[in-house]
Structure 1
């Protein structure tokens, strides 16, 4: 794929290491069924293992087989094929590859039967719920990878090469079980070309945001397009507004399942009322509530709406639908009055979870594969194939060019500085996440009012708090 010129500053390591773009949707669904809890039977063939050494810390056996399954979404899967070829060449293994959007459909019976793959990119609308896998002891502990020598500098441990927050985000119940590989930012997106033609200025306050939406409506466009069939996206807006108005304490109260996380939280009500104002004033792209992510994003690419919410995987996912001169630009979620965080503050963090199943036939190979992903060589391969950057510090050749949207996300990260935040509840409590999404779906369709949304969201928090594992999921 071609990559646009990036302008100055790209060679600066502090910029690259905080760079961004996730590539896939992480919308939870009913997903992995409770049959998983049985844990299935033992694998029919013994695990592949060789003697360990400093160069081979997990004991990858030459001639062993590797079974890799990745979500084939916005990133495609060419990057994984390149990785597998490199791995086979180095270790004398034979890799089988599956790229699919049906992660649960393809893998549920394999997990239940005790013969899962060796590495899984567990993403997409049909991902397997991570907390369900963890509770049924299906996930290998990846801590040994963190403590292994880095392939780039054997004097460093792998854990010392990762962007801050990566380990925290992949932790369930106090154990590191998933590598969130791609560094992403979340917020609104707009066309620089459209805004220039219309004379619109990118808004910094919510009132300014509503004003641009109103101008778009006057011009015969939608103000806000959203991925109605996947309320995950509009939740980005709601939850970011809560964090920015109420500060990090408001975010942590939700992750820590506090009894006043939503009810009695003025910031939460203000955020939901703000988003509902877009609905009440008829500033949505007509029909957007019934569209999938790709349908709404394509309409936005066709200049039918001013804004759309998404993570920074958006540009790569929409490459074929984006006009050459569209000039995709990132916008932090604008501020409500009396917000505790500045406009420049953005949700940013690691995404795209890779796991090694506990019962993988070639668990040693799976762990070494994850270690290899955290090398500069493989990180650069990913950047070249997927137009996105990873959680490896200094992990991409500074000469790699970025497209306009990705570059604008990089610039936003640089501008945000330490003002970044990220929610953990979607990975910790998938049922709660789904319940809040369902409430947002009702809200956007005008079937419930903001106060009812708050009531439903708090009920979801209270239910999650009954989970015995909740005591291990705390953030300070």
Structure 2
């Protein structure tokens, strides 16, 4: 598989090729023409009817790429693809599972011959903002305005939870479908807490007192995914927003000067950095990846770990008998917080896109419509133990204890649900940018003020780069 030449950033690789209209594939000596926004590709479209509202060519092949990560690809091969095949028996489905989506597909995007449907996820994700600004993605507007699979009297968009469409929208156009509904917070072993009589804290003062007690019992209070320190930006921003209100997050998303220097950001950063200063973090955490840190937590070496609601599914093969996954929102920094203690972050995640130059983009949209059916969403939840953005799809399902715990917390939060967009809009600001700095903060290599200044510099890079499209909310 062709790789990006050493020393090139993904943006340089894609934009340089697009600027010249051609790409020399490394190692091949072949000059490949570039087709953008579907140009240069034969895009067939079938007859629109009540049974085929998106005009799918019923006998055209559909090429699908699925990220082979925490969710695997069985939900595609065992649920969604059979549903598509049942409706379009003459359409051949070409399925491929990949760990590194960029490594597998970036050159195909540039060459103008991408697949019809891509699960653009994982560490090898092609930045969505980059794909959008380079006009490499097909608009999903027709999908969301199409009749839903289950009830033709409802549009697809009206069957989804609030914010689901907006999560994949850039400017006024939706370009990505985020299927998984992820709830973010802190996780603990309820069986361990019951054994010791520990109560999950709701304030940071309670957290500090409990950490002392946990440490006294010979257990590290916290661990985190050290190599992927971005996991700790989630409690950082959530606690800051709970402390001072959601405008803190909007300022960050809008690249406002001084957003990362807000007092709430600094207070939250100081609280998390204090875990290191107080010896509350499992020794060696800084060098652990997510598998090692979460594995140590499952072994009872640490009491808390930050993660999304995919955690239980991801740990299924290493969870000891008697372990009981339980979720809690991050504690508030003070009793007079702007948002209630129950406030949490939940967002549509796991992005799926249809490339602009796909040969069968209408088939890609129809595949998404299937995913957003009750049957498709329910099958996803059953297969990967994750909620979806489809309203009511999980009703009646016997969910695992951890997922049930997270879902209960979401119901308790009600309208007090927050999210931010900068990591989707400006991926380089997010990673390595802010993520590298949170790692330095937690390892004690950077003070809170230095962290704030470094994050401000990352935002300034994006703000001052005229080549990057800016978004606001």
Pick the aligned partner of 2:106 from 100, 105, 108. 108
Q: What are the Cα deviations for residues 72-95 of structure 1, in whole angstroms up to 9, with x where unaligned?
A: 222121101121122112112111
Pick the aligned partner of 1:159 from 141, 145, 157. 157
- Report the CA distance between 1:45 and its aligned residue: 6.1
Aligned residues: 444
Pick the aligned partner of 1:360 from 350, 358, 373. 358
Give, in whole Å, the separation in 2 of the partners of 1:432 and 1:168.
Answer: 20
Query: What secondary structure does 1:69 align onto?
Result: strand
Question: Does residue 34 of structure 2 align to residue 41 of structure 1?
Answer: yes
Give, in whole Å, the separation in 2 of the partners of 1:278 and 1:53.
Answer: 60
Give, in whole Å, the separation in 2 of the partners of 1:389 and 1:124.
Answer: 18
Q: Cα–Cα, structure 1 residues 88 and 467, in superposed 2: closer, same or farther, change >3 Å?
A: farther
Q: Is the 8 A contact 2:83 2:370 kept in 1?
A: no
Q: Is the 8 A contact 2:228 2:290 kept in 1?
A: yes
Query: What secondary structure does 1:55 align onto?
Result: coil
Counterpart of 2:216? 218
Counterpart of 2:257? 259
Q: Is the 8 A contact 2:41 2:358 kept in 1?
A: no
Q: Is the 8 A contact 1:119 1:355 kept in 2?
A: yes
Counterpart of 2:26? none
Counterpart of 1:9? none
Query: What secondary structure does 2:199 align onto?
Result: coil
Question: Does residue 274 of structure 2 align to residue 281 of structure 1?
Answer: no
Give, in whole Å, the separation in 2 of the partners of 1:260 and 1:111.
Answer: 37
Pick the aligned partner of 2:319 from 311, 322, 325. 322
- Report the CA distance between 1:466 and its aligned residue: 2.7
Give, in whole Å, the separation in 2 of the partners of 1:453 and 1:348.
Answer: 25
- Output aligned runs, 1:150-299, within 5 Å: 150-263=148-261, 265-299=262-296
- Output aligned runs, 1:292-307, within 5 Å: 292-307=289-304
Give, in whole Å, the separation in 2 of the partners of 1:53 and 1:76.
Answer: 34
Counterpart of 1:412? 409
List runs of 5+ in structure 2 lacking aligned partners. Answer: 1-7, 19-32
Pick the aligned partner of 1:94 from 63, 78, 92. 92
Q: Is the 8 A contact 1:171 1:177 kept in 2?
A: yes
Counterpart of 1:136? 134
Q: Is the 8 A contact 2:100 2:125 kept in 1?
A: yes
Question: Does residue 31 of structure 2 align to residue 70 of structure 1?
Answer: no
Higher-RCO chain (CA-CA 8 Å, sequence separation at least 6): 1
Pick the aligned partner of 1:60 from 46, 56, 60. 56
- Report the CA distance between 1:468 and its aligned residue: 4.6
- Report the CA distance between 1:31 and its aligned residue: 7.5
Q: Is the 8 A contact 2:116 2:358 kept in 1?
A: yes
- Report the CA distance between 1:219 and its aligned residue: 2.1
Query: What secondary structure does 2:63 align onto?
Result: strand
Q: Which moved more, 1:210-219 or 1:230-239?
A: 210-219
Give, in whole Å, the separation in 1 of the partners of 2:103 and 2:197.
Answer: 48
Question: Does residue 332 of structure 2 align to residue 335 of structure 1?
Answer: yes
Give, in whole Å, the separation in 2 of the partners of 1:469 and 1:189.
Answer: 40
Question: Does residue 97 of structure 2 align to residue 121 of structure 1?
Answer: no
Give, in whole Å, the separation in 2 of the partners of 1:48 and 1:89.
Answer: 20
Give, in whole Å, the separation in 1 of the partners of 2:467 and 2:384.
Answer: 36
Q: Is the 8 A contact 2:229 2:436 kept in 1?
A: yes
Q: Is the 8 A contact 2:231 2:307 kept in 1?
A: yes
- Report the CA distance between 1:470 and its aligned residue: 7.2
- Report the CA distance between 1:239 and its aligned residue: 1.0
TM-score by length of structure 2 reads 0.91
Give, in whole Å, the separation in 1 of the partners of 2:288 and 2:275.
Answer: 17
Counterpart of 1:376? 374
Query: What secondary structure does 2:259 align onto?
Result: coil
List runs of 5+ in structure 1 lacking aligned partners. Answer: 1-29
Give, in whole Å, the separation in 1 of the partners of 2:299 and 2:102.
Answer: 33
TM-score by length of structure 1 reads 0.90
Q: What are the Cα deviations for residues 282-323 of structure 1, in whole angstroms up to 9, with x where unaligned?
A: 111110110111110011000010000001011111111112
Query: What secondary structure does 1:180 align onto?
Result: strand
Give, in whole Å, the separation in 2 of the partners of 1:302 and 1:186.
Answer: 22
Counterpart of 1:15? none
- Report the CA distance between 1:471 and its aligned residue: 7.2
Q: Which moved more, 1:301-310 or 1:330-339?
A: 330-339
Give, in whole Å, the separation in 2 of the partners of 1:188 and 1:469.
Answer: 37
